[in-house]
């Protein structure tokens, strides 16, 4: 079966298969446009895509996948340093961008990357054989605790298995209209939010920016959001009430606060389905459409996924609902490793092949998982974005006026955590440093707040005590 099975084989030419903002494509047009892109990419292995929340991104990604190329989505707001890293590290051979867009395909001072235009006026009826399932579909760049983001290699088979598991868990069918407004360079918005409907057969409406009133107006049966989006919807009662007509509301990418779960239950009549996943594992655990949904808990493993919790020595802990340990996962949705990073790859798995999530969890006797927190304070989740403290610290330390920097995620009512930088500096101001970071890295990585201090708290070995910074 092809990766985008429903889009390739459906007999039913839906006039509004994909809507992004106010642009709409039928199934056959999407097919024709994507094939024109695939024709242009014939023979290429890796292609970067300027991943704006637009129809061109949908067409570009589908076209590259048809051609059998691995897609490297480039966050549109990535600063020059991050962008250069992604283009260079991935060794992308071309950059797909909307026709006429002013983009810089040059990975630094080296040879420029050819820019292949995605032109929504050009269709093709050419044929492309279905690539082998083990081929890489996506290379998604994701932050670790330190250093530059790493490219996670996701195969076509892993994505297909994940989406089929979600179709089963959520009773997702061709009758569904999926609504969301998520970025198109991560698992949530791109894999679930674009490839999902194209494999399963339902329609998609991407609302551009994820504003509550846009979710309300779109009339979806299935709605996806990160907790920040759900919190904003719960705070907009008229918009929330309009979601009563939906079939299923799904939250993921960060912990959904119980107050938001309860608020939405009251306003929409829906108990939100929460699911858990990672770039490296895709979605592994979820509540089911035909089962209970519990605030603060993320459900049971998806078909084919196995999980364990272990203590610091790697010994198994009991599934008694109280023992807390690191969550390990295994199964067919796992990634194939980090590109060019055998060291990080080896560190991310146990000797017997389980992936270490770095999340701390409990598992109940009934198989229900609760994510309690993260083992390291150096991975921050803000608005559902994963941000490595080390990367932001390095960016700050590149400023001549910064002597020391420590970045933590402080609790934030809207974003879950906010990126907060403690800085020992000479004559620098907070706003100047926020701008300085935003000029190097994606804008969501810039600190919300810079606290200028005389010294950072350190232990006897000189290591910064981040727990003390988190305690204020």
Residues that bind ligand MLC (CB under 6 A): 182-183, 186-189, 210, 226, 228-229, 252-253, 277-279, 383-385, 434, 443-444, 446-448
In angstroms, what is the minimal distance from the CB of 298 to ligand AMP?
5
Residues that bind ligand AMP (CB under 6 A): 142, 187, 252-255, 274-279, 298, 357, 359, 371, 374, 381, 386
Q: How far is CA 133 from the centre of its chain?
A: 22
Closest CB to ligand AMP among residues 255, 260: 255
- By the 8 A CB rule, do 172 and 221 touch? no
Least separation in angstroms between CB 182 and ligand AMP? 12
Q: Are 88 and 452 in contact (CB under 8 A)?
A: no
Over its C-alpha atoms, the chain yields an Rg (Å, rounded) of 22
306 within 8 A of 330, measured Cβ to Cβ: yes
- Looking up tokens 């003390």 gives 468
Residue among 25 and 254 whose Cβ is closer to ligand AMP: 254
Binding site partner of 287, from ligand MLC, ligand AMP, none, Cβ cut-off 5-8 A by kind:
none
Whose structure tokens read 């609902």? 321
Distance CA 318, CA 307 (A): 12
- Beta carbon of residue 427, minimum distance to ligand AMP (angstroms, whole number): 36
Q: Is 264 helix (H, G, I), strand (E, B) or coil?
A: helix
Quote the least distance from Cβ 371 to ligand AMP, whole Å: 4
274 binds, among ligand AMP, ligand MLC, none (CB under 5 to 8 A by kind): ligand AMP
Token reading at 190 = 């791109």
Phi and psi for 56 in degrees, rounded to 5? -60, -35
Partner from ligand MLC, ligand AMP, none binding residue 357, C-beta < 5-8 Å depending on class: ligand AMP
* Residue nearest ligand MLC, CB atom distance: 383
Q: Which residue in this structure is represented by tokens 């810089």?
A: 104
Nearer to ligand MLC, 36 or 423 (CB): 423
State how far the Cα of 372 lies from the Cα of 155, in Å rounded to an integer. 29
The entry of ligand MLC, ligand AMP, none that residue 226 binds, CB within 5 to 8 Å by partner kind: ligand MLC
Closest-CA residue to 34 (of 5, 11, 57): 57
Residue 229 touches which member of ligand AMP, ligand MLC, none, C-beta under 5-8 Å by kind: ligand MLC
Contact present, 324 and 360 (Cβ < 8 Å): yes
CB of 461 to ligand AMP, least distance (A): 28
Rounded to a whole number of angstroms, the minimum distance from the CB of residue 408 to ligand AMP is: 16
């Amino acid at each position: 079966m092809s990766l985008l099975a429903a889009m390739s084989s459906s007999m039913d030419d839906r006039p509004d298969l994909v809507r992004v903002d106010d642009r709409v494509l039928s199934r056959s047009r999407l097919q024709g446009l994507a094939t024109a892109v695939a024709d242009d990419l014939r023979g290429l292995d890796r292609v970067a895509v300027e991943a704006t929340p637009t129809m061109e991104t949908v067409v570009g990604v589908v076209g590259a996948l048809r051609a059998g190329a691995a897609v490297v989505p480039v966050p549109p707001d990535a600063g020059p340093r991050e962008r250069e890293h992604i283009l260079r590290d991935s060794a992308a051979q071309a950059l797909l961008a909307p026709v006429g867009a002013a983009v810089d395909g040059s990975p630094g001072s080296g040879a420029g990357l050819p820019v292949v235009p995605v032109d929504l006026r050009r269709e093709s009826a050419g044929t492309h054989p279905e690539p082998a399932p083990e081929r890489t579909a996506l290379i998604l760049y994701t932050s670790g605790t330190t250093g530059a983001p790493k490219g996670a290699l996701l195969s076509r088979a892993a994505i297909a298995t994940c989406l089929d598991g979600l179709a089963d868990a959520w009773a997702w069918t061709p009758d569904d209209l999926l609504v969301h407004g998520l970025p198109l360079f991560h698992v949530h918005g791109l894999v679930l939010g674009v490839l999902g409907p194209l494999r399963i057969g339902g329609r998609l409406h991407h609302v551009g920016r994820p504003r509550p009133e846009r979710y309300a107006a779109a009339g979806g049966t299935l709605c996806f959001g990160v907790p920040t989006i759900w919190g904003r919807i719960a705070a907009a009662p008229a918009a929330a009430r309009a979601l009563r007509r939906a079939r299923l509301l799904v939250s993921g990418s960060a912990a959904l606060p119980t107050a938001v779960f309860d608020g939405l239950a009251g306003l929409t009549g829906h108990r939100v389905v929460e699911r858990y996943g990672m770039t490296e594992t895709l979605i592994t655990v979820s509540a089911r459409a035909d089962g209970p949904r519990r605030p603060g808990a993320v459900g049971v493993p998806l078909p084919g996924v196995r999980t364990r919790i272990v203590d610091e020595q790697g010994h198994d802990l009991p599934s008694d609902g109280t023992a807390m340990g690191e969550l390990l996962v295994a199964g067919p949705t796992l990634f194939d490793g980090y590109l060019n990073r055998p060291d990080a790859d080896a560190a991310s798995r146990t000797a017997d092949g389980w992936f270490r999530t770095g999340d701390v969890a409990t598992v109940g006797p009934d198989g229900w998982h609760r994510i309690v927190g993260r083992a390291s304070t150096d991975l921050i989740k803000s608005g559902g974005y994963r941000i490595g403290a080390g990367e932001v610290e390095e960016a700050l330390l590149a400023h001549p006026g910064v002597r020391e920097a420590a970045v933590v995620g402080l609790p934030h009512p809207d974003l879950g955590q906010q990126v907060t930088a403690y800085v020992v500096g000479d004559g620098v101001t907070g706003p100047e440093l926020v701008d300085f970071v935003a000029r190097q890295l994606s804008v969501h990585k810039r600190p919300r707040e810079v606290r200028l201090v005389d010294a950072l708290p350190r232990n006897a070995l000189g290591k910064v005590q981040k727990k003390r910074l988190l305690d204020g």
